[in-house]
Chain A
Amino acid sequence: MEKSKKSTGAEFADFLKNNLKSYMMYIALVIIMVFFQIWTGGGNFMKGSFFKASNISNLFNQAAYVAVLAIGMTLILILKHIDLSVGYVAGLSGAVAAILMQRYGMNQWLAILIVLLMGLAIGLYQGTVITRVGVPAFVMTLAGMFIFRGLLSLSLAKTGTIVISQKGFLALCQGFIPDIPNETGLHLVTMIIGVIAVVLVIISQIKNRRSKQKYEFEVISTPIFVTGLVLASAVILLVFYVLADYKGIPWSAVIVAVILAIYTFMLNKTKLGRYIYGIGGNDQAAELSGVDVKKVTLFAFCSMSFLAAVSGILYASRLSSATPTAGNAFEMDAIASSYIGGTAVSGGVGKVTNAIIGTFVIMSLTNGMNLKSVDISYQYIVKGIIFILAVAFDVRTRKK
């Protein structure tokens, strides 16, 4: 392969131009965050409350249940399906967990396991009807919306809202990872994890680059590679520092990070991931290439409902209770997150990491407007407009 010799500056400009689309979302997120920081500070960036450590922790806890849904929804949307039932599946999951723990005194971890299995079962049921009977996913999950909403209010009919008191359960979306005693005033474990994360990123990037060089593939030039690494390391360290300055890493962030890592790996590195993109791009071609389209689709719906159960647990944990209104409109935030994160409306394209960025766009708007006590009606309208802009941008740039 012939390597063209370009100046670093020109290469950098090319790199930016070619990757602008992939970074647009990050840029938009930063703009939104900075905007709220300035607004909450009354025009003064330094006085704003958005970037306060407590608010950032809060943002993680606030975003976790949507982020989990957005990950599952991205798979569904890549496959050109949709799942409208996730909100009430989440609501029902929280209610069932609360009932098992509070009414029947079940061990909290066993209750969580049972709820997760219930989520899987719901996915199996919906996915089977969709793939084997041929009921369109839109209809099937719209019906699911009715059914699980009914089951949710039925399950809480006698008691109304159930307050949850189990410490471990509540820690999931309120607590922070433990620390070792120290006198720095910082959360030491968080800082250590931050440093480890940076080291891991650097090692994996270098390893990746080496292996590409070994096979004589084209790689970006050293100055750009180093600049990128330094920038990424700085951002990671900054986030961890802000968290360490408060109470450390929230458990919710750990849960989302683990799920995100698993799904990113699955989509990028395994056959299953390839097949999901293939089916979304051209299901007939995938079928004729030996892909079991129905099985893969069934998997996606199982994964979706399972994650909805996770989401319901996180939401109940955050509110310390199960309520009959839990789950209302979760699917809207999840679908919007995924589309804002660049999942193609026509299917076949999408990344779970970007869906998480989409979630943070949506939840930063919610968080920031809450800080300024913006009326909920306006919040919906603003979110809707941002949603249109994001997808319009995506559609326009995709055409090129």
Chain B
Amino acid sequence: MDNNYILEMKNITKEFPGVKALDNVNFKVRRGEIHCLVGENGAGKSTLMKVLSGVWKYGTYTGDIVYEGEVQKFHNIADSEARGIAIIYQELALFPELPIYENIYFGHEIMKGKQIDWNETIVQSKKMLDKVRLHVDPSIPTKRLNTGNQQLVEIAKALSKNCKLIIFDEPTSSLNEDDSQNLLKLMRELKESGITCIMISHKLREVTAIADTITVLRDGSTICSLDAKQDDISEANIIRNMVGRTIDDVYPKRAEKKIGDVMFEIKHLTVEDPNTGREILHDVNLNVRRGEIVGLQGLMGAGRTECALSIFGNPYNYKIKSGEVVLDGQSHFFKSPHDAIKHGLAYVTEDRKGNGLVLIQDIRYNITLANLDALVQGVVIDENKEIVVANRYKDEINIKAPSIEQKTVNLSGGNQQKVQIAKWLFVAPKVLILDEPTRGIDVGAKYEIYSLMNKMVQEGMSIIMISSELPEVLGMSDRLYVMSEGHITGELDGAEATEEKVMKMAINSN
């Protein structure tokens, strides 16, 4: 056993039904280094960290976790924390209403006999906050801190548990430039004091600036581990390792492309998050032509979904500071999804279970929900006509279910997605926005959805496809835009786009 390594994960394999999320991954972290873990969305980074922290407990994966020279069998997060491993997630796990000191010591309270010693808690919290250079009164409610400072509270919490290994999951994804720099500086200081850090990040600029070692994961396997002192850690090299995969022929070709005039245009869209005041979209301009599939690529958190929702009637009340939408030659500002739908815009959500389908209702109900007007005679819904419509879509796009009376909660992901798409086909929009249309569905269903998209544009529809999956965007798009941190960072013709080019644009900020 080499004592230089605080952590060795050996031959880790983790399978989910139908998917191998991790395939024989080896991951070694030296004591006191900053180790960055990079890879595309879905490469297995988060899964690997969940295995390490005990979220996927011992026995649900194969392989060994050797930490501090011993094989560990973590059954939950508490087990890994007890050994000094802390994980700080993208979405912070703090109680916004509680004071900072309670958050720092939540779960490992300082006791005096049978009571919590609040005074000592406050004194100790102050010390921890000093360590992360956050100079605020520990008694104020945590929600009064901005996101960057809340993250510092999380780190203080990890330090209060005497953690030796801290995992940062995309720590700077929701931070502004100043806070990000501050956090990177703090990570260097932690390293000086002997704490080992693992950082998952998409921001290669930060990765190359801070990392001692960089491990690249792709499709659930370790591709390489690069030593900052010896190896080539240029962004180009990292990207090549991240994407170096040949595109299989899984994308159906369109018989002939009939691309017409500009159908839909977003002009100068700038949007703010009303809660944090952060600009989530900055001067976004894009357009799509009749019969065209336009890809909108970017990493998670780049602002693509926010962009779609802002123009689709803004149901979540983002603060739209400026912008204009032109649909079929007419300028609009949609007040509600209803308004947008009426004018021929449709949006298929990325979260079909969360805000896409009414899961407790059947296929028929979901397919017709957005266009009941077409079925109403007087005030009565013509149910027989409705059944005919639902059955037509079920057959046409091959929704696999015993009948249209099947509740959508019981369908597979791919079939749920088809129901969602059928719902919007029945509306017959001019412009269809598909947000992550193939997330979490199997290869066969993917192919069917791609074919369906081709058919729709053949018939004159315009499609904007939001997707994190590079091969999909490259395989399907006639043209594509790349977004990063709320900006459109590039526009490429489908034929000339390559994975490297796109990835570079997606990672570059500004």
Question: Who on chain B is nearest to A217 by CB?
Answer: B387
What is the CA–CA distance of A176 and B84 in the complex, to the nearest angstrom? 79
Could you tell me which residues of chain A, from 244 to 275, have a CB within 8 Å of some CB in chain B?
A: 269-271, 274
- Are A274 and B372 touching (Cβ within 8 A)? yes
Interface range for B: 20 to 34
- Name the contact of A274 in the complex, choosing from B341, B359, B369 (C-beta under 8 A): B369
Tell me the residues in window 343-363 of chain B with beta carbons closer than 8 Å to chain A beta carbons: 347, 349, 354-361
Interface residues of A in 263-306 (CB under 8 A from B): 269-271, 274, 277-278, 281-282, 284-292
- Name the distance in Å between A347's Cβ and chain B's nearest Cβ: 9
Is there a chain B Cβ closer than 8 Å to A348's Cβ? Answer: yes
Chain B proximity of A378: nearest CB distance (Å): 38
Inter-subunit contact A285/B337 (CB<8 Å): no
CA distance A288 to B423 in the complex (A): 12
* Cβ-based interface call for B209 (8 A): no
Tell me if B384 is interfacial: C-beta within 8 Å of chain A: yes
Interface pair A290/B341, CB less than 8 Å apart: yes
> Is B355 touching A290 in the complex (CB atoms < 8 A)?
no
Q: Which residues of B contact A212 (CB under 8 A)?
A: 384
Q: Do most interface residues of chain B lie in helix, strand or loop, or is the interface mixed? A: helix
B381 & A292 in contact (Cβ 8 Å cutoff):
no
- Nearest Cβ distance between residue A375 and chain B, in whole angstroms? 41
A271:B376 contact, CB within 8 angstroms = yes
Interface flag for B388 (CB, 8 Å): yes
A104 interface contact, C-beta 8 A:
no
Instruction: Report yes or no: B357 in contact with A285, Cβ–Cβ below 8 A.
Output: yes
Taking A269-B381, A271-B381, A292-B336 as contacts, is the C-beta distance between A284 and B354 under 8 angstroms? yes
- Contact B379–A281 (Cβ < 8 Å): no
Known: A288-B355, A292-B336, A348-B360. A211 touches B423 (CB 8 A): no
The answer to whether B359 touches A282 (Cβ under 8 A) is: yes
**Residue contact B338 to A292, C-beta cutoff 8 Å:** yes
> Which residues from B are CB-within-8-Å of A215?
384, 387-388
Given contact pairs A215-B388, A289-B337, A290-B337, A269 touches B355 in the complex (Cβ within 8 A): no
Interface centre among A214, A274, A344, A348 (most CB of B within 10 A): A274
| CB-CB nearest in chain A for B347 | A288
Chain B residues near A217 (CB-CB < 8 A): 384, 387
A399 to chain B, nearest CB (A): 12
Residue contact B338 to A291, C-beta cutoff 8 Å:
yes
Q: Are B337 and A274 closer than 8 Å at their CB atoms?
A: no
For A284, the chain B residues whose CB sits under 8 A away are: 315, 354-355
Residue A349 at the chain B interface, CB threshold 8 Å: yes
| CB atoms of B380 and A289 under 8 A apart | no
For residue B74, CB closer than 8 A to chain A, the reply is no
Query: Looking at chain A's contact residues, is the secondary structure mostly helix, strand, loop, or mixed?
Result: helix
Known contacts: A215-B387, A269-B381, A278-B358. The answer to whether A287 contacts B372 by CB under 8 A is no
Chain A's closest residue to B388 (CB) is A215
Shortest CB distance B82–A (Å): 36
Chain A residues positioned under 8 Å from B354 (CB to CB): 284
* Residue of A270, A282, A291, A349 touching B379 (CB-CB under 8 A): A270
Question: In whole angstroms, what is the CA distance A285 to B357 when docked?
Answer: 6
Q: From B360, B372, B387, give the contact of A281 (CB < 8 A).
A: B360
Contact B356 A285, beta carbon cutoff 8 Å: yes
Q: Could you tell me the distance between the alpha carbons of A211 and B376 in the complex, rounded to whole angstroms?
A: 17
Q: Which residues from A are CB-within-8-Å of B347? A: 288
A291: which B residues are within 8 A, CB to CB?
Answer: 338, 369
The chain A residue with its CB closest to the CB of B336 is A292
B452 at the interface (CB under 8 A from A): no
Give the docked Cα–Cα distance between A296 and B339 (Å): 16
CA distance A287 to B315 in the complex (A): 7
- The answer to whether A289 touches B381, judged by C-beta atoms less than 8 angstroms apart, is no
Most chain A CB within a 10 A radius of its CB, from B341, B376, B383: B383
Q: How far is the CA of A277 from the CA of B361 in the complex (A)?
A: 9
In the complex the two chains form, what is the Cα distance from A288 to B336 in whole Å?
Answer: 9
**Are B360's CB and A289's CB within 8 A?**
no
Which chain A positions have C-beta within 8 A of B381?
Answer: 269-271, 274
- Beyond A215-B387, A288-B315, whether A282 also contacts B357 by CB under 8 A is yes
CB of B32, distance to nearest CB on chain A (Å): 46
* A contact residues around B340 at 8 Å (CB): 290
**Closest Cβ neighbor of A398 among chain B residues:** B360
Q: Does B365 contact A (CB under 8 A)?
A: yes
Give Cα A270 to B375, complex, Å.
10
A282–B177 Cα gap in the complex (Å)? 37
CB distance from B390 to the nearest CB of A (A): 11
- Please tell me if B55 contacts chain A, counting CB pairs below 8 Å: no
Chain A residues whose CB sits within 8 angstroms of the CB of B383 once the complex forms: 269
A344 to B312, CA, bound (A): 31
Chain A interface residues (CB < 8 Å from chain B):
211-212, 214-215, 217, 269-271, 274, 277-278, 281-282, 284-292, 344, 348-349
B residues lining the A interface (CB < 8 Å): 312, 315, 336-338, 340-342, 347, 349, 354-361, 365, 369-370, 372-373, 376, 379-381, 383-384, 387-388, 423
